[in-house]
Structure 1
Amino acid sequence: MLTIISVVFLFGSTRAAPAAGECPNILDAAGVSQMFAPMIAHSIHSLTLEDIRYFFEEDATVENGIPTVNMDLTSEKRVLLNAPLAGYDDDFSTMTMKTFDLVMRNMNRTWWGITNYNTLEKLTHAFHMAEVWDRTAEEYKLVKQLLDPESEICECITDVENNDVLNYLNLLAFKIKYPGITSGNKTLTDLYINYRAKRSAAYRFGVGYDLSWKRSGLVDFDGFDFNLSDIELLKDVAEKLVDEDGVITKHVDSAEHWQLWREMVKEGMDASGYYDLAVFLYCMLN
């Protein structure tokens, strides 16, 4: 729920664009958390235009401004600047079946979605994200009543090139495509680097991206240019962005392993995360 200070600030925050360096204080006063950028990246990385229309704004357009991780892992284009149409089958009447169908239609595409996830894990991930957006939808309705899209808050929120949202999306794309790349496990990361040095993407090491969202701290992206290719950046990502973010080695292939995933999924986000996401989506879509 919105805090009292957040409500007061949202009501009275309209003015000219903030000066350089003011945004951290502006967002802090508005109740936006310090973990805003990595949390937003985690929350929007697989968002589709259909999801936006269902959960948030039914008239959202193709040029919606919500960046996402490219689900096509064969592409060198890691981040899409607009949440794409996923092609949900409208013959189904519920979002659950539409989401299920989308995953099943892509189940044989090795480099779609998340590296080394089996079909049950891709379904788990899709439904987990839908639950995040569903819980954010109520917060979004409240933010929509209070926040002026022309406010200095939205000026700061929508500056994704400078508030690190795009940086964290690129980093997340690396973690999804190369599980464990920031873990500090040199044996694993050297394998990725060697394969890509040969212009090969044919690595199958049995590990997968850890679905749980780490809150261990912020990353310093100083000097990183994510416009460079994977091959050009892999070594630096592996050596300079180590956050000990682990990998999943227990796949959903038994009730016992599902218990591990079940607890991981139930962790979700805290209240500040849903608020941050609601503010971000409102500012970007309006």
Structure 2
Amino acid sequence: MRKLQLILLYATGVFSQQCSEVLEPLGLKDAEALAAHGSHSLTLNMIQYFFNPKAAVDNGIPTVNLNRCEMHDLHENAPYSTMKNSFDNPAFFALDNILSNMDHEEYGIMNANTLDRIAHDLHMIHMWEGAALYYQALVTAPPKPDICSCFLSTYLEAIKANLEFIAKEIRIPNQLSAQNNKGVKKGGNERAHYLGEYLGIYLGRYIGVYTLESRTINEKRSGNETAIKKKGGADDHKLDLYSGNIVDEKSWAKWKEMMQDPDSQYMENMGRSLSLYLYCQLEK
């Protein structure tokens, strides 16, 4: 009976309206983009360390498959790393994972070197440390059930769309760049440009901006086709904020500049969106 009621609510649009009212007081901003960015490289090890020590293998948190030899872009569940001699400390765990795969040419962010990958993983640990505080607050004072049901019904599809796009930026950036630059004269350091597509969107000042695909989904949902044309064009998507790998002090300085928070509320928005997403999936 309850399931039938939910179907009727969806069909009439009542559920969507109610969820909008339920979620509005939370003040979430770009929740789907932030939740996807914050979760895309999680392992079950890190979920258990930062969020829920009892999280299971069947955890319901899809992540990007870093093994590019395999066909599937996403893991259905954040995988558990069984590497020998791995460290409990998150930073050393990340270092061990990267260095233990450094001879594997089809593993990790395509076109990124070892220093790039280390910097990326430390950046993600920084995100998880912040989100963990919000997660524990949810555990201490659990939200009403309708908050989780509304959050997931509102954002789950768009989170998955963001994850799928992140996976392609990590796994096949050259193909995406070729598609985006049809008819455009090529030149310069294309390897750096491919890497810059991923880093510029997800590690730079525009981390919280929707990807073109997810923004299209959300704008169509709201009927705002004009916004798609104004904000979702090719020029907006191809933000070239990076010009190479980390190879010296100058290139590292560019990374540090890029990884500054885009605004003073960024870490709070990231922490609240990511923690609520993980809580609603892990604690159900």
TM interval, short-chain normalised: 0.7 to 0.9
Once the two structures are overlaid, the 10-residue window that deviates more, 151-160 or 167-176, is: 151-160
Matched residue pairs, number? 243
Identify if the C-alpha distance between structure 1 residues 279 and 140 changes in structure 2 by more than 3 Å, giving closer, same or farther: same
CA deviation string 1:199-231 (max 9, x = no partner): xxxxx8343121324334461138xxxxxxxxx
Aligned to 1:138: 133
Identify if the C-alpha distance between structure 1 residues 163 and 29 changes in structure 2 by more than 3 Å, giving closer, same or farther: farther
Q: 5+ residue gaps in structure 2?
A: 219-232
Aligned to 2:165: 171
TM-score, normalising length from structure 1? 0.73
CA deviation string 1:111-134 (max 9, x = no partner): 222110000111111111011101
Q: Is the 8 A contact 2:62 2:76 kept in 1?
A: yes
Aligned to 2:247: 253
Distance 1:114 1:251 in 2: 12
Identify if the C-alpha distance between structure 1 residues 93 and 55 changes in structure 2 by more than 3 Å, giving closer, same or farther: closer
Distance 1:245 1:75 in 2: 29
Percent of aligned positions that are identical: 25
Provide the secondary structure at the position in 2 that maps to 1:270.
helix
Q: 5+ residue gaps in structure 1?
A: 1-15, 192-203, 223-238
Q: Is the 8 A contact 1:183 1:246 kept in 2?
A: no
Question: Which of 8, 14, 21 is matched with 2:16 structurally?
Answer: 21
Identify if the C-alpha distance between structure 1 residues 274 and 37 changes in structure 2 by more than 3 Å, giving closer, same or farther: same
**Which amino acid in 2 is paired with 1:29?**
P
Aligned to 1:84: 79
Deviation for aligned residue 1:168: 0.9
Provide the secondary structure at the position in 1 that maps to 2:23.
helix
1:205 counterpart = 2:212 = no
Give the aligned CA root-mean-square deviation in angstroms.
3.3
Aligned to 1:123: 118
Aligned to 1:215: 208
Aligned to 1:226: none
Aligned to 2:228: none
Question: Which of 246, 250, 261 is matched with 1:267 structurally?
Answer: 261
Identify if the C-alpha distance between structure 1 residues 188 and 246 changes in structure 2 by more than 3 Å, giving closer, same or farther: farther
Q: Is the 8 A contact 2:130 2:267 kept in 1?
A: no
Aligned to 2:33: 38
TM-score, normalising length from structure 2? 0.74
| Larger helix percent | 2
